[in-house]
């Protein structure tokens, strides 16, 4: 409903022959109810689930049989915040997502042509997830990420960019440097043209205003701690003055660093609950990307460099995962790092409060950012969501049924049910008992294509080998 073109996009490729796959005697995890149904046989024809039946129907001749005994079948996972559909990272990351059971993504910074090219590649046999929808990044001037961003310096430019996305299937990813008037113009035009907008709450805008204007998702809790501060109005006023000054964003950067102590000291749970109620009322969804909030708070911790999953990351990317060289972090002092850890503790407390107030959350990782590992980090994110109070079933929903709802695609995605697309993950242990069991992957089925243990191992080995080679070889 929200993203109209989705079905055209999801229809995508079907495997060449309508292969039949039968998973028998399996425990199917009902993510909606948070329960398990045992002794079922799931039959897949081509890229669709044909039936989910009790007992043991005969296996058709030529079908692939997978023994489901003692195993748990869940819908394919979604990572709702990646930067993966790019000429730089796509070939490194996309197969790894599938190997880790991530069969769908929302890309938060790409272009229509890049997504179309990726879908063509998958249709032709490349291994990768479905791209449910994608955002085109729209920032103010100068844009944080440079020339790949679209830039809206004023309301007219914002409006023109929204219009240019009509009919493309993409949405507007609003970014941190949009000024207030331009942000409002984008929101109004998005509503008028039926094009969603989602992303960061800009630094000159309050989270409550973004919610009221219909921002669909708020990433990384942008402006939320500010919204939970009793000094929000004062701080926003200061930010707008700094932005209006000659040094603009430079002066705002200095200001933000200098007031983090004050921001943390002025946190007010009552204000936070009021903000949560506003999110819940407006239907604003949080994509907290706790994995990246954590890695950025702990980036100065040298033990991160011992993570064995670094072998999957090409040198040209991980060399940038260094707080001493990354332009966003290199000015930070030891005291700043200490404060950032305090900030992270507060973020977790705020998330707990938002969840208690009924604010919806989607699982996302911010893949391509420091110490985010393709697919692996989505499993981490689910554990972190349980850490802020979600039940394992709720965490699982945030990566399955809730993304399907968000995409308006519950008739084809989000649960294990007849007629739905065959995006499935077979686990050796029950994720409702311990969410960490999402790592116990036996087999992944992506759009009907089966990746068993050997196929998954090959994806992992190939990815490590590729990451070790210089780019372009
Ligand atoms: Zn991101």
Q: How far is the CA of 58 from the centre of ligand 1 (A)?
A: 47
**pLDDT tens-digit series, residues 166-209:** 999 999 999 999 999 999 999 999 999 999 999 999 999 999 99
Sign of the dihedral defined by the CA atoms of residues 318, 289, 327, 307, in that order: negative
Q: How far is the CA of 107 from the centre of ligand 1 (A)?
A: 8
Q: How confident is the model at residue 3 (pLDDT cuts 50, 70, 90)?
A: very low
Calculate mean pLDDT across residues 444-457: 98
Q: How far is the CA of 368 from the centre of ligand 1 (A)?
A: 8
Residues in the chain, total: 473
Q: How far is the CA of 67 from the centre of ligand 1 (A)?
A: 38
Q: How far is the CA of 262 from the centre of ligand 1 (A)?
A: 26
CA nearest 81: which of 99, 102, 98? 102
Q: How far is the CA of 369 from the centre of ligand 1 (A)?
A: 7
Look at residue 249 in the predicted model and tell me its pLDDT. 83
Q: How far is the CA of 375 from the centre of ligand 1 (A)?
A: 15
Least confident segment among 76-80, 163-167, 310-314, 317-321: 317-321
Global confidence as pTM: 0.95
Q: How far is the CA of 5 from the centre of ligand 1 (A)?
A: 23
Rounded Cα gap, residues 200 and 137, in angstroms: 10
Task: Residue 403: give its domain's CATH number.
Answer: 3.20.20.140
Rounded Cα gap, residues 101 and 431, in angstroms: 13
Q: How far is the CA of 360 from the centre of ligand 1 (A)?
A: 19
DSSP labels, 74-141? EEPEEEEEE--SSTTTHHHHHHHHHHTTEEEEEESS--HHHHHHHHHHHHTT----EEEEEEEEEE-S
Q: How far is the CA of 173 from the centre of ligand 1 (A)?
A: 10
Least confident segment among 34-43, 234-243, 358-367: 234-243
- pLDDT at 135 > cutoff 90: yes
- pLDDT at 441 > cutoff 90: yes
Least confident segment among 9-18, 290-299, 318-327: 9-18
Residue 406 lies in a domain: yes
Range of the domain at 387: 76-414
Q: What is the CA radius of gyration of the chain?
A: 22
Residue 409 lies in a domain: yes
- pLDDT at 15 > cutoff 60: no
Look at residue 330 in the predicted model and tell me its pLDDT. 85
Residue 360 lies in a domain: yes
Residue 57 lies in a domain: no
Calculate mean pLDDT across residues 136-140: 96
Q: How far is the CA of 88 from the centre of ligand 1 (A)?
A: 15
Look at residue 114 in the predicted model and tell me its pLDDT. 93
Tell me the two tokens of residue 195: 């094009």
What value does the mean pLDDT of the chain take? 93
Q: How confident is the model at residue 17 (pLDDT cuts 50, 70, 90)?
A: low
Q: How far is the CA of 245 from the centre of ligand 1 (A)?
A: 28
Q: How confident is the model at residue 313 (pLDDT cuts 50, 70, 90)?
A: very high
H helix and E strand count, the chain: 18, 16
Tell me the two tokens of residue 167: 């009919």
- pLDDT at 355 > cutoff 90: yes
Residue 230 lies in a domain: yes
Q: How far is the CA of 200 from the centre of ligand 1 (A)?
A: 9
Q: How far is the CA of 305 from the centre of ligand 1 (A)?
A: 21
Look at residue 236 in the predicted model and tell me its pLDDT. 96
Residue 286 lies in a domain: yes
Residue 249 lies in a domain: yes
Q: How far is the CA of 174 from the centre of ligand 1 (A)?
A: 11
Q: How far is the CA of 455 from the centre of ligand 1 (A)?
A: 29
Look at residue 150 in the predicted model and tell me its pLDDT. 95
Q: How far is the CA of 366 from the centre of ligand 1 (A)?
A: 5
Q: Which residue has the tokens 């709802």?
A: 405
Pairing assessment for the beta strands 424-427 and 72-75 based on DSSP bridges: antiparallel
Q: How far is the CA of 259 from the centre of ligand 1 (A)?
A: 24
Q: How far is the CA of 14 from the centre of ligand 1 (A)?
A: 30
Calculate mean pLDDT across residues 383-389: 98
- pLDDT at 399 > cutoff 50: yes
Count of domains forming the chain:
1
Residue 434 lies in a domain: no
Calculate mean pLDDT across residues 227-249: 92
Integer angstrom CA distances of residue 62 from 20, 83, 220, 293: 8, 39, 48, 48
Tell me the two tokens of residue 249: 């964003």
Q: How far is the CA of 81 from the centre of ligand 1 (A)?
A: 6
């Amino acid at each position: 409903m929200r993203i109209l073109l989705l079905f055209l996009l999801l229809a995508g490729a079907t495997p060449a022959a309508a292969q039949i796959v039968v998973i028998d005697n399996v425990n199917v995890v009902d993510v909606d109810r948070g329960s398990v149904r045992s002794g079922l046989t799931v039959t897949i024809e081509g890229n669709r689930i044909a039936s989910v039946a009790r007992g043991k129907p005969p296996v058709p001749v030529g079908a692939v049989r997978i023994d489901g005994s003692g195993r748990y079948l869940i819908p394919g996972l979604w990572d709702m915040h990646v930067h993966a559909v790019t000429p730089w990272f796509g070939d490194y990351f996309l197969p790894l997502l599938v190997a880790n059971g991530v069969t769908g993504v929302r890309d938060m910074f790409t272009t229509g042509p890049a997504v179309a090219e990726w879908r063509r590649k998958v249709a032709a046999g490349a291994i990768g997830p479905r791209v449910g929808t994608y955002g085109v990044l729209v920032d103010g001037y100068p844009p944080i990420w440079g020339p790949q961003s679209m830039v809206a310096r004023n309301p007219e430019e914002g409006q023109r960019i929204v219009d240019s996305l009509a009919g493309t299937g993409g949405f507007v990813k609003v970014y941190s440097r949009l000024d207030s008037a331009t942000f409002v113009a984008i929101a109004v035009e998005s509503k008028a043209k039926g094009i969603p907008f989602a992303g960061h709450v800009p630094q000159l805008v309050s989270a409550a205003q973004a919610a009221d204007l219909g921002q669909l998702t708020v990433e990384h809790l942008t402006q939320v701690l500010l919204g939970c501060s009793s000094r929000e109005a004062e701080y926003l006023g200061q930010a707008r003055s700094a932005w209006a000054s000659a040094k603009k964003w430079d002066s705002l950067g200095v200001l933000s660093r200098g007031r983090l102590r004050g921001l943390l000291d002025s946190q007010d749970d009552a204000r936070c609950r009021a903000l949560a109620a506003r999110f819940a009322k407006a239907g604003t969804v949080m994509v907290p990307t706790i994995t990246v909030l954590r890695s950025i708070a702990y980036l100065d911790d040298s033990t991160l460099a011992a993570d064995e999953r670094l072998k999957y990351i090409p040198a040209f990317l991980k060399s940038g995962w260094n707080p001493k060289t990354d332009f966003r972090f290199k000015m930070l002092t030891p005291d700043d790092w200490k404060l950032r850890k305090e900030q992270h503790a507060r973020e977790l407390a705020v998330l707990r409060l938002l969840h208690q107030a009924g604010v919806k959350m989607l699982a996302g990782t911010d893949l391509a950012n420091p110490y985010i590992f393709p697919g692996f980090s989505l499993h981490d994110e689910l554990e972190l969501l349980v850490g802020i109070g979600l039940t394992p079933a709720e965490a699982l929903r945030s990566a399955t049924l809730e993304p399907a709802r968000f995409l308006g695609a519950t008739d084809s995605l989000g649960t294990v049910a007849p007629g739905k697309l065959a995006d499935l993950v077979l686990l050796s242990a029950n994720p409702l008992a311990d969410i960490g069991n999402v790592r116990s992957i036996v087999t992944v089925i992506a759009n009907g294509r089966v990746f068993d243990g050997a196929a998954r191992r090959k994806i992992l080995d190939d990815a490590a080998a590729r990451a070790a080679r210089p780019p372009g070889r």
